[in-house]
Amino acid sequence: MRPPAAPSSRIERAPAGADLALQVCASQAQFTQRSQTARVCASDDWGATMAMWLYQMDQKQWPPGSYRVDIWENERWTWPVGRKASSGSPEAGDRVAFFYAPSGGTEPGFYGWGIVLDWHEDERGMYFRPVAPSNHLKMHPWWDDTARVIADQVRGKVKQGTLWKVPEGLAKKISAGITAWLSR
CA angle 58, 86, 57 (to 5 degrees): 10
Contact (CB, 8 A) for 81 and 162: yes
Can you list the alpha helix ranges (DSSP code H) found in 56-167? Answer: 64-70, 134-139, 145-155
Name beta bridge partners: 156. Answer: none
Q: Check residue 161 and give left, alpha or beta (phi > 0: left; psi -120 to 50: alpha).
A: left
For residue 11, what are the contacts with CB-CB under 8 A and spacing of at least 6?
27, 76, 117
The CATH number of 49-182 is 3.10.590
Q: For residues 61 and 127, give the distance between their C-alpha atoms in angstroms, rounded to a whole number.
A: 20
Q: For residues 39 and 31, give the distance between their C-alpha atoms in angstroms, rounded to a whole number.
A: 10
Q: For residues 172 and 132, give the distance between their C-alpha atoms in angstroms, rounded to a whole number.
A: 17
Mean pLDDT (10-residue bins), the chain, 184 residues: 35 35 36 33 49 94 92 90 85 95 92 94 86 94 97 91 94 95 90
Q: For residues 108 and 22, give the distance between their C-alpha atoms in angstroms, rounded to a whole number.
A: 32
Output 34-41 pairs: Cβ under 8 A, ≥24 positions apart: 36/91, 37/91, 37/92, 37/93, 40/91, 40/92, 40/93
- Going 93 to 141 to 83 to 128, the CA torsion angle's sign is positive
The domain segmentation of the chain, as residue ranges, is 18-46, 49-182
